[in-house]
Amino acid sequence: MSVAHKVALVTGAAQGIGRGLSEILLKHGAKVLLTDVNQAAGDKTLAELTAKYDQSRVAFVQCDITKQEQLETAFATAKSQLGGIDIVVNNAGIGDEGDRWENTVDVNLKGTVKATKMAIDNLRKDRGGKGGVIVNMASMAGLNPNPCGPVYCATKAAIIMFSQCWGMNPDVTGNGVRINILAPAFVDTDLVKQQLQKGKDVIRPDIAAMMVERVGIMPVEQVAEALLELVTDESKHNAVLKISASTGKSYQ
């Protein structure tokens, strides 16, 4: 499947991996609705991307994925402003393990559930959609336990199970919708930097640092290439694509 002229909605797109995923889709000719809870960062990223790409192909709307009505507005904007919806990348996520650990469940799990259900409803051919593909952002931390982020790991494991359960549903497969899961190891973004530098949100930042040392850290662009594979390769459905600096790409 070529992404040229397709419309993608990406959550958490203002920075980090989400921005990289948005940019690779733009490079390959897609139209992209960037969405993020952070309005200022979203405005800045939009300005930078419109300077590089045709401004009719990229837009930004503020959207906190924990808020149903903001998700509804984002999906409606993709249709009204960019002409439809073919690709949904549920990327937004956080890693609070301290007093605010419940935010991690709210964003990573509950937010991804809300956004996935909305994506399925919008893509299903029997509900007026054109079919398409959803990619949910899990993590290697959702497959391999580690002592640094128990809540984070639990939410990412749950995203994999939730996504694969939907992927087995004949209402989805029978209506032209593919669901895939991306599971990266460490990627060079603020999420990782904050945890290693401040150590405030991980339980054992010293072990996290040792793990980064051992596994390595990838540039965002490497993860973006993996996303493109999950989107364009129509044989991929219910696939979990693992990617790490040390071992490269492999399917679970």
Positions annotated as catalytic residues are 152
Q: Considering only the stretches 7-15, 22-30, 199-207, 233-241, report the one whose residues sit in contact with ligand NAD under the rule CB under 6 A.
A: 7-15
| Residue whose tokens read 């507005």 | 73
Q: Quick check: 172 and 166 in contact, CB under 8 A?
A: yes
The tokens of 152 are what? 């984070």
Interatomic CA distance for residues 191 and 25, integer angstroms: 22
Q: Does 107 bind ligand NAD (CB under 6 A)?
A: yes
DSSP state of 83: S
Q: Do the Cβ atoms of 114 and 71 come closer than 8 Å?
A: yes
Binding-residue pattern over the window 186 to 215 for ligand NAD, x denoting contact by CB under 6 A: xx-xxxx-----------------------
146 binds ligand NAD (CB under 6 A): no
Q: Does 149 bind ligand NAD (CB under 6 A)?
A: no
Q: Quick one: how many helices (H) and strands (E) in the chain?
A: 10, 8
In contact, 139 and 184? CB cutoff 8 Å: yes
Check: CB of residue 66 under 8 Å from CB of residue 110: yes
The residue among 71 and 82 lying less far from ligand NAD, judged by its C-beta, is 71
Take residue 29 and report the two structure tokens written for it.
């000719």
Does residue 139 interact with ligand NAD by CB under 6 A? Answer: yes
Count residues binding ligand NAD (CB under 6 A): 30
Tell me if 92 contacts ligand NAD by CB under 6 A.
Answer: yes
Q: Which is nearer to ligand NAD, 4 or 207 (CB)?
A: 207
Site residues (vs ligand NAD, CB under 6 A): 11-12, 14-18, 36-38, 41, 63-66, 91-94, 107, 111, 137, 139, 184, 186-187, 189-192
